[in-house]
Structure formats: C-alpha cells, structure tokens
Amino acid sequence: MKSLGNIRRSFAPWADPDSKPFISFRNITKKFGDFTAVDNLTLDIYHREFFALLGASGCGKSTLLRMLAGFERPTSGEIILDGQDIAGIPPYRRPVNMMFQSYALFPHMTVESNIGFGLRQDGMPKAEIAERVKQMLKLVKLEQFAKRKPQQLSGGQRQRVALARSLAKRPKVLLLDEPLGALDKKLREETQFELMDLQQELGLTFVVVTHDQEEAMTMADRIAVMSHGKVIQVATPAEIYEAPNSRFVADFIGDVNILEGKVKAAGNGRVEIAGEDFTVRALGDTQLAMGASAGFAIRPEKLKISRTAPADATINASEGEIWDIAYLGDMTVFHVRLPSGKVVKTSMLNAQREVENPIGYDEKVWVSFAETGGVVLKD
Amino acid sequence: MTRWSRFNIISVALGFAFLYLPIVLLVVFSFNESRLVTVWAGFSTKWYVALFNNQGLMDAAWVTIRVALLSATVATVLGTMAALSLVRFTRFRGRMLFSGMVYAPLVMPEVITGLSLLLLFVAIGFDRGFWTVTLAHITLTMCFVAVVVQSRLLSFDRSVEEAALDLGATPLRTFFEVTLPIIAPAVFSGWVLAFTLSLDDLVIASFTSGPGATTLPMKIYSQVRLGVTPEINAACTLLIALVTVGVIIASIVTKRRELQRQRDEHAAFAGR
C-alpha cells in the first residue's frame, strides 16, 4: 500500500499541461424557469481523480452532477466525457453510475438482485452476473446479507449496497451525491477512508457532491468550491485552505480571521496593508492599487499569542486582551479582543498535558503572525 | 383505554344495529322456509337451490361478473396511465383541465353520466349491449383508480427510477421492473375498487345496457318491483358474502405486510 500512497502524492494531472481532461464541462448553463442553477461554468476533471463539488445547498453542485448522470439537460454548453459530447445521450446509455443520497435501493428486490440489476440490463450471462455480484458483496463486506431486502438492513449496510450496485457495472466515472450524509459521525469517518481506498484500488474517477467541507478535504484530490451556480475556486484541499482566492472561500472553509485595511505599499512581491490594529506586512500580489481596501486572511492556528511583545520587530504584532477561552481537548481556542474592538480567533495545540502558568481570562497578550501566515485578498 | 361505560355500550350497539340490522334481516330471511318475506316459517336453503335454477338471475350474474372483470382491468390500465401523467408531467399544457376532467366523474351524478353515454351510443349508432355497459363502467371507474394510484405516486421516491435508468434500464423496463412492482398494491386496490363499483352499479347500467346484457343489479331491481322474493334475498346474501370475503382478504394482506415490515425493521436493528 505504500506505493499507492506515493502515487497519490505525486498525482497531479491538472498541473501537467499535456494531460487531457477526462470530463469537461464547457460553458454549462442550466436554468429552471427564471432560476439559474448553473451559470456558464467551465470545469475539467481528470482520469482517476477523486473530485469534490463543495458548496451550500442550492449552489448548483447537485444539478451539475445530475447533468453528468443525464437526468438534467444543460440549457447551453457541452459536457465532454472521454472525448465524446454526452449532452444528447440518455442516462441509460452513459458509462457513468451514480450513488444516490437516499441510496434509492429497489425495495422489492434482495441485496443480490439490487447489485445485479445493472448487469441484467446489459444482458450479461447469469453465471457471470452471479460471479460479479459475489465479488461486489465481498468488496463491501456484505456476503452474509445477500438474500436480505433493503428494509432488513441498517443505514450503513444500505449505503454499502448502494455503493456496490453503482460499482457493479464498472463505470468509467462514479458519481456520489452526498454519499455519507445519512450516516452517523463515527461511521462517516470510517467510510470516508474506505471510499478513498476503494477508489485507489479500482482506479476509477470519482465525482462527489458534498456540503461537508471536512468530508471533501479528507477524500478529494481536488475540490471545486461552488456558490450561486459558479465555481469560485478549484484546487487541492491544502491550496483551498492555505491559499483561498476570495473572501467567500476563506470564510467557507474552516475558521478564518480577516484583517481589513488599505494598501499602503506594494512591490517586490510584498504588500503592506494598514489596518486599525496591525500594519500587515505580507507576501502577495503586487498589482494592488495604492489606497485600495484589501483584507488579510489568516487561520486561527497561524496566529500566536504571547505575554511579551515579539523581539523581532519585522513580525506583525498587536496588543490585545483575552476575551473568551474554549478548551476543546486537542486544542484550545482563544478569542482575543484587539484595541479596535475586533475579536480574532487563535488556536493552540495542546501538545502537552500539563502547562506551566497557562494564559487566562482578561490577560493582556500580544497577537503576532509571520508574513507568510496568511493571504492577501482583494475586494 | 377507558372502561366501558353503559353509555359507550349503548351507543356502540345502536350504531351497529343501524348499520347492520337491515343486512342481518336480509340474510336471515334468505333462509326462510316460507314464500312470504316477512313471516318466519323455519330454516331452509331451498331459495338458494331455486336461485341456481333461475336461469334469468344466473345469466345476469354472469354478465355482471364479465362486465366487472373486463371494465375493472381496462379502467386500471387507463387510470394508472392517467395518474402517472398527472403526477409526472407537471408542466404540460392543460394539465389543470386534464386533472379536473379526470376527476369530474367522481362527483358527476350517475344519472347524467348514464344519460350522456346513452346519447353518445345512440348518436354513433353503437348497438347497446355488453360492450356499451363495459365501456360505460370503464368511464365510471377509471377516475377512482386514478385517484388511488395518484396518491401512491405522490409519495414515490423518484430517485429509485433514476437509479434504474442510471444502471442502464430503458424507461419502459424501468416502469415494468421498478415502478410497477412498487406501486402494485395501489394498482391492485384500484382494481378491486373498480370491480366492486362495476358490480353494484345500477343507474349507468340501466341507461347503457341493451337486450341480452341485463346485469344482476338491474335484474334484482326489476324483480323487486314485482315483489320481493326470497330468491332475491339469497342472491343478495351471496353478493354480501362475496364482498365480505374480499374485504377480509384485503385486510389480511395489509396486516401481513405490516407484520412483515415490523419483522424487517427488527432484523435491520439486529443486523447492525
């Protein structure tokens, strides 16, 4: 399994200008009456990629998936799958299969015949179907439940049946619509890793729709953050988290502090933003106009708090006062009130069980961060 | 549960008496020895024998059953199709009009339905008989089937059909392999409803029937005008028995399904 892990780390076809996308959405628009669900969207997904469409409900991510499956027709634009425009192909002739949020198991069939349904439609010989169904049951560890009806299964088992059924035909692309939404937290985390392993093992392209950012971060090679029918940013989980391209993405993924200010200086890859509490000196886009308002997005764990001012004068620092403390076990979150009244969040990993003289409520502290700690966001 | 008070017992007894006393009387007098309907003269089954020897009544019964079987079956097919298009294609032109028109016969006085059908058959020169009664009953019962099936389809999870399409089933195969098996209980109850409606219809049959196609209700009605005979009582008792058996079977099926569901849920929790 070690080599797979290495492949995974070196897997980045999107960065290679020579690689051809496996799925291409080109200028896709989908309207329902006056409502625009997907707005002139262009997106490439590569072979063997685990791709996540992430967004709040109503952002168009499910519509996009349903267009790929063939349940909705784009109002305009084209969808290319493996070099072929699939816009006019009905769902039952597309080499993609979908796992539904509600699982959509056939209630009148046993687990076995549910999994074999797609194979029967293809007219596969009975013996082969039985063989393949057995394989799939083994894959999802449900061998002893073959003769049961879906109503006789727990939520987690149903989810596995749905997965086995959508994989049985060995589709080129597996679409997953909120695949783990109905499971409880523990089971969900387990299943996330199982799905990742499965995708590696089968070498398939997975496109998953989710509103759960943690789920997307855990599983996906790349994430497309969507809002109002548009893709705001497409990048790896780490890029999305550490280098969001907009306030929306910074705010949507994880916790963030945005320090507002006006551009004071820009040049040589450095930007200075004058704010009320900080004069932020950071690395960033030098195309910013002087005096334009800008924000500096920094994650709570990149902010440091200390009782004394940092010795290095080049480090960004401000005084503040501890406002709230939340102890979460693995880490502690401090809310620090800055002189302007703005409250920033900082978090500290509890690497040791015992702390000498811990920082407490109402203490005066210094908040500081490195120039590489966050990103500059234009308005 | 509260205890049975005297008031409760009396109201239950009165209610049931109100509902069932006439029927009980009818059943009892069908076993009467006497020819007089209102005078009890001892137990006898001779009217049942007489009934089976009464060629007119037996013919009428046979016509009724054939009409009911055929019209219920055709009405079930048409009603299911109507329900599907009403639920599924929500945005076609004239949907409101169509749904209104499907349901109109539900509230339309039977006399009007019968009369208009009669006028139609006369106008197009359709000889009245078995087929006209059957057609009229299809018209009458189709909307009942549509209502029953439509209420089932409203709670139907469309993603199950999408899953079938996604797995390569054509729309037609999806309907027969997935949709129909799931809605089958509703379609079956629609059929039973249509069958019983056709079985006991008098008004529309009177308008649209012709020579050689007298249905049982028509026959009974015409004979009663000449005086009630115990034979008719026997015929009615048999009809009641038929309907009762049907109701009992239907409730047993429902009860069993409920028990099965409970067992399934049990198994699901045990299998966790």
Average pLDDT over residues A289-312: 88
User: In this complex, is the C-beta atom of A71 within 8 Å of any C-beta atom belonging to chain B?
Assistant: yes
Select the residue of B159, B169, B272 nearest A92 (Cβ to Cβ).
B169
The residue ranking higher by pLDDT, A200 or A54, is A54
- For residue A366, the SS3 value is strand
Is the per-residue pLDDT at A9 higher than 70? no
DSSP conformational letter for A170: -
Q: In angstroms, what separates the C-alpha of B158 from chain A's closest C-alpha?
A: 8
Segment A320-333, tens digit of pLDDT: 999 999 999 999 99
Between strands A76-81 and A23-32, the pairing is: antiparallel
Fold for domain A2-95+171-248?
Answer: Rossmann fold (3.40.50)
pLDDT tens across the length of chain B (272 residues): 567 788 888 999 999 999 888 888 888 888 888 877 777 888 888 888 888 888 888 888 889 999 999 999 999 999 999 898 888 877 777 777 877 777 777 888 889 989 999 999 999 988 888 999 999 999 889 988 998 898 888 888 889 999 999 999 999 999 999 999 999 888 988 898 898 889 888 899 999 988 888 888 888 888 888 877 788 888 888 888 887 887 788 788 778 877 877 777 776 665 44
Average pLDDT over residues A309-316: 80
User: In this complex, is the C-beta atom of A93 within 8 Å of any C-beta atom belonging to chain B?
Assistant: yes
A93 contacts in chain B (CB < 8 Å): 168
- Residue A288 is predicted with a pLDDT of 79
User: For residue A105, what is the nearest residue in chain B, using CA coordinates?
Assistant: B160
Give B245-251's long-range contacts (Cβ < 8 A, gap of 24+).
Answer: B246/B192, B246/B196, B250/B189, B250/B192
Report the predicted TM-score, pTM, of the whole model to 2 decimal places. Answer: 0.80
The pLDDT > 70 percentage for chain A reads 97
What CATH number has the domain spanning B55-227? Answer: 1.10.3720.10
- For residue B127, the SS3 value is coil
User: In this complex, is the C-beta atom of B272 within 8 Å of any C-beta atom belonging to chain A?
Assistant: yes
- How many of the other CB atoms lie within 10 Å of CB of B225? 8
For A167, the token pair is 């994989």
Angle CA B6–B7–B11, to nearest 5: 120
Q: Tell me whether residues B159 and A104 touch, CB distance under 8 A.
A: yes
Mean of all residue pLDDT scores within chain A:
88
At a CB cut-off of 8 Å and minimum separation 6, what does B97 contact?
A: none
- Residue A99 is predicted with a pLDDT of 93
Q: Tell me whether residues A97 and B157 touch, CB distance under 8 A.
A: no
Fold for domain A255-378?
Answer: OB fold (Dihydrolipoamide Acetyltransferase, E2P) (2.40.50)
Give B184-190's long-range contacts (Cβ < 8 A, gap of 24+).
Answer: B185/B152, B185/B257, B186/B148, B186/B149, B186/B151, B186/B152, B186/B153, B187/B76, B187/B80, B187/B145, B187/B149, B189/B148, B189/B250, B190/B76, B190/B79, B190/B80, B190/B144, B190/B145, B190/B146, B190/B148, B190/B149
The pLDDT > 90 percentage for chain A reads 48
CA distances, B33 to each of A36, A253, B39, B54 (Å): 80, 89, 9, 18
Segment B46-83, tens digit of pLDDT: 888 888 888 888 888 889 999 999 999 999 999 999 89
Furthest CA-CA distance within chain B = 72
Confidence of residue A2 (pLDDT cuts 50, 70, 90): very low
Segment A205-263, tens digit of pLDDT: 999 999 988 889 989 999 999 999 999 999 988 889 888 989 999 999 889 999 998 88
Question: Is the four-CA dihedral A240, A242, A246, A252 of positive or negative sign?
Answer: positive
Select the residue of A104, A157, A169 nearest B168 (Cβ to Cβ).
A169
d(CA B157, CA A199): 28
Best A100, A143, A170, A187 member to test B by mutation, with max B CBs in 10 Å, is: A100
DSSP conformational letter for B97: H
User: For residue B272, what is the nearest residue in chain A, using CA coordinates?
Assistant: A154
User: In this complex, is the C-beta atom of A100 within 8 Å of any C-beta atom belonging to chain B?
Assistant: yes
Residue extents of the structural domains in chain B: 55-227
d(CA A178, CA A207): 10
Select the residue of A92, A106, A145 nearest B160 (Cβ to Cβ).
A106
The residue type at A370: A
User: In this complex, is the C-beta atom of B156 within 8 Å of any C-beta atom belonging to chain A?
Assistant: no
Average pLDDT over residues A35-46: 92
- Residue A6 is predicted with a pLDDT of 37
Q: Tell me whether residues B264 and A149 touch, CB distance under 8 A.
A: yes
d(CA B159, CA A244): 35
Is the per-residue pLDDT at A79 higher than 90? yes
Is the per-residue pLDDT at A118 higher than 60? yes
Q: Tell me whether residues B268 and A100 touch, CB distance under 8 A.
A: no
Segment A133-156, tens digit of pLDDT: 999 999 888 889 999 999 889 888
- Residue B69 is predicted with a pLDDT of 93
- Residue A5 is predicted with a pLDDT of 34
Cβ atoms of B221 and B40 within 8 Å: the answer is: no
Closest CA to A160 of A144, A177, A136: A136
Confidence of residue A97 (pLDDT cuts 50, 70, 90): very high
Select the residue of B159, B171, B173 nearest A121 (Cβ to Cβ).
B173
